[in-house]
Amino acid sequence: MQNVPIVELSDVAISFAGVKALAGVDFACHAGSTHAILGENGAGKSTLIKIISGVLKPDTGTIAVNGSKVGFSGPADAADAGIVCMFQELSLIPDLSVADNVSILRPPRRFGLIDRRAQIARTEELLARVRCEDVDPRAMVRDLSLSRRQMVEVAKALGRDPKVLILDEATSALTQRDVETIYGLLDELRADGVCSLFISHRMHEVEALCDRLSVFRNGQHVETFAKGERSDAEIVRLMIGRDVTAKFPPKPPIRAERAPAVRLDDLRWEDRLKGVSLTLGKGEILGIGGLDGQGQKELLLALFGVLKGTKGTVTVGDGDGLATSPHRAKTGKNRIALIPDDRKTEGLMLSLSIADNIVAAALDKVASGGVIDPGRLDAAVRDGIARLQIKAGSPAHAVRTLSGGNQQKVVLAKWLMIAPDVILMNDPTRGIDVGTKQEIFRMMRTLADEGKSILFYSSDYAELIGCADRVIVLYDGRVVSELTGEAITEEAIVAASLNLKGEVA
Partner 1 sequence: MTTMPQIRPDDRPLLIAFGFTLVILVIGTGYTLSTTGTMPLLQPSYLMQQLQIGSFLGICAAGMMLVILTGHIDLSIPWTLTSAAMVATSVGGPWAIPAGLSVGLCVGLVNGFGVSVLRVPSMIFTLGLDTVLRGLMVARTGGFAPQDTATPAMLYLAKAKLLGVPVALFVWIAVSLVVTFLLTRTTFGRALYATGTKERAAWLSGIRTRAVVTGAFLGSALCAALAGVLLAGYSAKAYQGMGNSYLLPAIAAVVLGGTHILGGRGRYAGTFLGVVLIVLLNSILSIMQMPEAFRQIIYGAVIIGMLLIYGRGTRVSE
361 binds partner 1 (CB under 8 A): yes
Which residues, 6 or more positions from 136, have their beta carbon under 8 angstroms from its beta carbon?
98
Would you list the DSSP string of 400-448? GGS-HHHHHHHHHHHHHTT--SEEEEESTTTT--HHHHHHHHHHHHHHH
SS3 365: helix
Rounded Cα distance between 55 and 276, Å, is 37
Question: 346 phi and psi, to 5 degrees?
Answer: -115, -25
Q: Residue 175: is it exposed, middle or buried by C-beta count within 10 angstroms (0-12/13-18/19+)?
A: middle
Site string for partner 1, 397-426 (x = CB under 8 A): -----------------x---x--------
Site string for partner 1, 329-348 (x = CB under 8 A): xxx------x-x----xxxx
Q: Are 288 and 469 in contact (CB under 8 A)?
A: no
Residue closer to partner 1, measured from CB, 361 or 465: 361
Among 133, 250, 371, 450, binds partner 1 (CB under 8 A): 371
391 binds partner 1 (CB under 8 A): no
Q: Which helix (DSSP H) or strand (DSSP E) does residue 342 occupy?
A: none
394 binds partner 1 (CB under 8 A): no
| Least distance (Å) between residue 433 CB and partner 1 | 23
247 binds partner 1 (CB under 8 A): no
Nearest CA to 344 among 400, 413, 428, 391? 400
Sign of CA dihedral 423, 383, 451, 488: positive
Candidates 88-96, 130-138, 181-189, 322-330; binding stretch for partner 1 (CB under 8 A): 322-330
Which residues, 6 or more positions from 427, have their beta carbon under 8 angstroms from its beta carbon?
341, 457, 458, 459
Q: By rule CB under 8 A, what count of residues binds partner 1?
A: 31
Q: Please give the C-alpha separations between residue 51 and each of 37, 157, 291, in angstroms, as whole numbers.
A: 14, 18, 23
| Least distance (Å) between residue 323 CB and partner 1 | 10
Candidates 34-42, 44-52, 180-188, 360-368; binding stretch for partner 1 (CB under 8 A): 360-368
Residue closer to partner 1, measured from CB, 209 or 303: 303
Residue closer to partner 1, measured from CB, 215 or 362: 362
Among 18, 112, 250, 370, binds partner 1 (CB under 8 A): 370
| Least distance (Å) between residue 351 CB and partner 1 | 6
Among 110, 308, 327, 333, binds partner 1 (CB under 8 A): 327
Rounded Cα distance between 172 and 143, Å, is 20
351 binds partner 1 (CB under 8 A): yes
Residue closer to partner 1, measured from CB, 60 or 325: 325
What secondary structure letter does DSSP report for 333? S
Residues 435-494 that bind partner 1 (CB under 8 A): none
| Least distance (Å) between residue 343 CB and partner 1 | 9
Candidates 61-69, 144-152, 285-293, 367-375; binding stretch for partner 1 (CB under 8 A): 367-375
Residue closer to partner 1, measured from CB, 4 or 360: 360
| Least distance (Å) between residue 57 CB and partner 1 | 28
Q: Are 236 and 504 in contact (CB under 8 A)?
A: yes
Residue closer to partner 1, measured from CB, 128 or 352: 352
What is the tally of helices (H) and strands (E) in the chain? Answer: 16, 23
User: Where do contacts with partner 1 occur on this chain (CB under 8 A)?
Assistant: 304, 306, 325-327, 329-331, 338, 340, 345-352, 356, 359-361, 363-364, 367, 370-372, 374, 414, 418
